[in-house]
Structure 1
Amino acid sequence: MGVLWKLEPATAAKHRLYQRYLDAWWPILLQTAQSTGYTRPRVTLLDAFAGPGRYQDGEPGSPVIILDRLLHHDALDRMQLSPQRVHLVFIEKDRARYEHLMAELHARFGPLGDLPVRVEVRRGEAGLDSLPLLTELGAWGHPILGIFDSWGSVNVPLDVMRRIARNRSSEVITTFGPNWFSRREDLNLDILDTVFGGRTFWTPADEELRSDERWRIWLTTYRDALRRAGFGYQLQFQLVPRTGQPLYLVFGTGSPAGLRAMKDAMWKVDDRDGESFRDPRTRGAEADGQLNFFQMDELCDPELVELVTQRLKTGPAVVETIGEWLLTETARWMPKHALKAARQMRQDGQITVTGAGKLTTKSRISL
C-alpha cells in the first residue's frame, strides 16, 4: 500500500459514525456543567493510527475530519477551547504518511501552533508510544478518547486499554479490518497474547473453523478483553456498507452517557447511504439496512425480535429490565425499543404477558 489509498465504503461509513459521535462527545466534555458549574480542565483525543490525512481521490482522513468537526462545531462558543485545555494527538508509524499528514494539516488549517487547540502529530507506533505520549501531555486524570483504528492487524496491547479504562471518563474505539478474522494466523502468537491478555483467553476463538462464526467469536473475545481491562460498558458490532467488505468495531466506556451517545450516533448515520450495524449475537436476521426512529414507529426489526427472544430464553423478565439489557448488551438497541418489541411479539403470539391489562414497561413477559 502506498502513501495514499482508495477510501473504502466501510471506512466512509465509519467516518460518518465518528462524526456523529464526536458531535455529541465534545460538548458533553467541554461545556460547563449547568448543575454544578464544573469545567473540565483538559480533554484529550488520541488517534493512534492517523494515516496520511487524505485518501486517493481527495477525501479527508480521520485527523482532518476530527479537527475540522471540532473547529466548526455548533456549540463552539460554549466549549471554551484553548491549547491548554484541548489536545488532539495523532500518531502515524510510516514516515511518508506522517510527512503527508503534517503537510495536509498545515494546508487545511494553517500553522498548527496558531489553532485554538493543541495538535500533536508524532511519528511512532500505537502500541509502544500511546501511553508515553499521553503521559508527556498530562492527559491522565482527565477524559481521554482513544481511537485505535488500524485497517490491518490489531496489535495494541491490552495494557494500553487497561490504563485508559482506569482513567476517569475515558473511552476507546478499536477497529478490526475486513480480513483480520480469516488471515489472523499471520499474527505472532505473542502479539495475540498481549492484545487479548493471555493465550487462554483467545484460544477458544482460534479453534472456531466456521467462517461466519469466526468474526462473531473473535469480536466477543475482544469485547470480553475490554471488560477485563476495566470498561464497564462495551459495544461490539459489524458495520455493513451497501457495497464492499464490512468493518468490525468494539467500543469501551465507563459511562452510561457515553454508551447512549454512541448508540445515538449509530441511529443518526444517514441510512440513505445503505450502511447498517449488525449485532454478532444475531444469525437469523439479515442486515437489510438501518431503520431510523420514524420507521421503528411502524416496523419491528427482525434483529430486535431475535435479541429479545434470546434474552427471554434465559427466563421471564419485566419489559423495563429487557430495555436495560438492550442498552448495555446489544450493538445498537435502546431501552425504548423493548416495549415495541414486546407489543409485536405479543401480537405474533410469541410471548405471554403475566396478568391482565395494558402492556407497559412494568409488565412481566415470557416465551
Structure 2
Amino acid sequence: MTEKFFEERKEQSEAKARIITKYFFAWARVIMPTAEQRGGKIAYIDLYAGPGRYKDGAESTPLYILRTAINHPKISQMLVSYFNDAESANTRALEEEIRKFPDINRLKYAPVIRCGAVDDEAEHYFNETRLIPAFSFIDPFGYKGLSSKIVKGVIKDWGCDCVFFFNYNRINAGISNEIVTPHIDALFSKTRADKLRGTLPGLPPDLREAAILEELANEIKDLGGRYVLPFTFKNAAGSRTSHKLIFVSKNFKGYEIMKDIMAKESSTEDEGVPSFTYSPADASMPLLFSLAQPLSKLRKSLLMKFAGQEVTLNHIYQTHSVDTPYVKKNYKAVIEELEEGGVVSVNSTKGKRRRGTYPDHVLIKFPEGAADGD
C-alpha cells in the first residue's frame, strides 16, 4: 500500500510538503533563541518518513526538511532529526538519499533513521520521555499507529508542536467497521468514538465531516493541545474531502504562524478570508466558496462579542480568531471599516497614530448593542 502511495507526487502532496517545511523553518526561528539556553538542540521527528523520494524522482518531506536545515547556519548546528518508517525498504532508501546530499556534513548531528512500527511501545516512549523542543510530523497512510496518546506525547513538552495526517476517507469508513474498532478508539477515545457511531448514520456528508472533526479536536484539546487547526484536501474533482492535515500546538504564536501558512496554501478565499482547503478543482468553480460573505459575519460577531469594551486589535485577534477561518488582516480590514463608518472610536495612548494602523497602544472602543440591528 505504501509503495503505491509513493509512486508519484500529486499537487496535494506538494502543498503538504510546503506547509510542513514552511512551518518547520518558522517554528525553528521562534524556538532557537530560548533553545540555545536549554541545551542548544531542537528536533524534527517524522514517524512515517517513507523512502525520501517518489518514484518519479520528486522529493518528499524529509528531504525538504533536511535541505532547509543544511542551508541555515544556525539550524544546521542545532537540529536533531529523527526519521522512522515501519518498512525496511523505505528506511534503506531514505538513508541512501540522505547520504547523497553533497552538504550533509554541514549538519552537526547526523540524521537518525530507524525502522519500527508506531505502536504501544512508541506511545509509552513519547509520553514518558522528556523531549527537547521538537516539531513532529505523523503521516500514516491510513489510521494504524495514529492515536491521541501519540499526539499527546509529542506535544507535551515545551516548544513541541505537531502536524498529523488525517485520512478522512478511511477513518470515515472505519468508524462503523468492527474490524478496526481498536484503531478508531485509540484516535478518538472509546467514549467519543461510540458517540460518533451513534450519531453519524443519520447525518448528511457535510455534517458528518464536521461532527468527526469536532470530536477529534475536542479529544486533542482535552489532552493538552490547546490550539487545533485543520487544513482540508479535496479529491481531484473537488467534490469531497480526501484527507486533512491537523496542526496541534499549546501556544498561540505557533497557531498564528501556521494559520498564515495554511491561508496562503488555500486554493480560494472570499473577501480575503481563506478557505483552508486545497482543491485542484477550485479554480474552475469559484462560486462554490464566494457566497459565504465571511467579513459581514465577522463584523457582526465582533460588534456582539466586544460590545461596550475598549480593546486592542491584538486582543481581538487572539481571543476571537481561534477555531475560525479568519486571519489577522481580516480583523484589521473590519476594524478599519468600522472606524471609517464611525461605528467604533479609536484612541491612542501615545498621542497621534497613523490612520489605518492599530498597534498595541491603540484602543478600539465598541459601542453597546451596535449589532442588534444588523
Q: TM-score, normalised by structure 1?
A: 0.74
The one-letter amino acid of 2:156's match is R
Cα shift at 1:165: 3.3
CA distance in 2 between partners of 1:308 and 1:11 (Å): 35
- Percent identical pairs in the alignment equals 19
Could you say what secondary structure the match of 1:147 adopts? strand
Counterparts in 2 of 1:28 and 1:243: CA distance versus 1, 3 Å: farther
Q: Tell me whether 1:238 sits opposite 2:232 in the alignment.
A: yes
Counterparts in 2 of 1:152 and 1:287: CA distance versus 1, 3 Å: farther
Cα shift at 1:68: 0.9
The aligned counterpart of 1:254 is 250
The aligned counterpart of 2:41 is 42
**1:289-325 deviation digits (Å, cap 9, x = unpaired):** 9x9xxxxxxx998345445656777795858465234
CA distance in 1 between partners of 2:186 and 2:260 (Å): 32
The aligned counterpart of 1:88 is 81
Of the candidates 107, 110, 117, which is equivalent to residue 100 of structure 2? 107
Counterparts in 2 of 1:326 and 1:130: CA distance versus 1, 3 Å: farther
Cα shift at 1:223: 1.1
Cα shift at 1:353: 4.3
Q: How is 1:327-342 mapped onto 2 (pairs within 5 angstroms)? A: 327-331=321-325, 333-341=326-334
The aligned counterpart of 1:282 is none
Larger radius of gyration: 2
Cα shift at 1:227: 0.4
The one-letter amino acid of 1:170's match is C
Could you say what secondary structure the match of 1:102 adopts? helix
Q: Could you say which structure has the greater relative contact order, defined with CA pairs below 8 angstroms and 6 or more residues apart? A: 1
Counterparts in 2 of 1:300 and 1:323: CA distance versus 1, 3 Å: farther
CA distance in 2 between partners of 1:264 and 1:278 (Å): 10
Counterparts in 2 of 1:307 and 1:98: CA distance versus 1, 3 Å: farther
CA distance in 1 between partners of 2:159 and 2:45 (Å): 14
Cα shift at 1:240: 4.8
The one-letter amino acid of 2:28's match is W
**1:213-251 deviation digits (Å, cap 9, x = unpaired):** 222221221111110111222212324588666531221
Gaps of 5+ in 2: 269-273, 278-283, 348-354, 357-362
Counterparts in 2 of 1:311 and 1:87: CA distance versus 1, 3 Å: same
Cα shift at 1:363: 2.2
In terms of mean alpha carbon deviation, does 45-54 or 121-130 score higher? 121-130
CA distance in 2 between partners of 1:67 and 1:303 (Å): 39
CA distance in 2 between partners of 1:241 and 1:344 (Å): 37
Contact kept in structure 1, 2:144 and 2:183, CA below 8 Å: no
Cα shift at 1:342: 5.4
CA distance in 1 between partners of 2:300 and 2:170 (Å): 30
Q: How is 1:1-367 mapped onto 2 (pairs within 5 angstroms)? A: 1=1, 3=3, 4-31=6-33, 38=37, 40-72=39-71, 76-79=72-75, 81-82=76-77, 85-108=78-101, 115-128=107-120, 130-131=122-123, 140-153=130-143, 155-184=145-174, 185-186=176-177, 188-197=180-189, 199-206=190-197, 207-208=199-200, 209-240=203-234, 246-269=242-265, 277-278=275-276, 288=286, 302-306=293-297, 316=307, 320=313, 322-331=316-325, 333-341=326-334, 353=343, 361-364=364-367, 365-366=370-371, 367=374
Could you say what secondary structure the match of 1:161 adopts? helix
The one-letter amino acid of 2:22's match is R
Counterparts in 2 of 1:178 and 1:200: CA distance versus 1, 3 Å: closer
Cα shift at 1:134: 5.5
Counterparts in 2 of 1:317 and 1:259: CA distance versus 1, 3 Å: farther
Gaps of 5+ in 1: 280-285, 292-298
Could you say what secondary structure the match of 1:247 adopts? strand
Counterparts in 2 of 1:287 and 1:14: CA distance versus 1, 3 Å: farther
Could you say what secondary structure the match of 1:116 adopts? coil
Q: TM-score, normalised by structure 2?
A: 0.73
The one-letter amino acid of 1:30's match is M
Contact kept in structure 2, 1:14 and 1:239, CA below 8 Å: no
In terms of mean alpha carbon deviation, does 44-53 or 162-171 score higher? 162-171
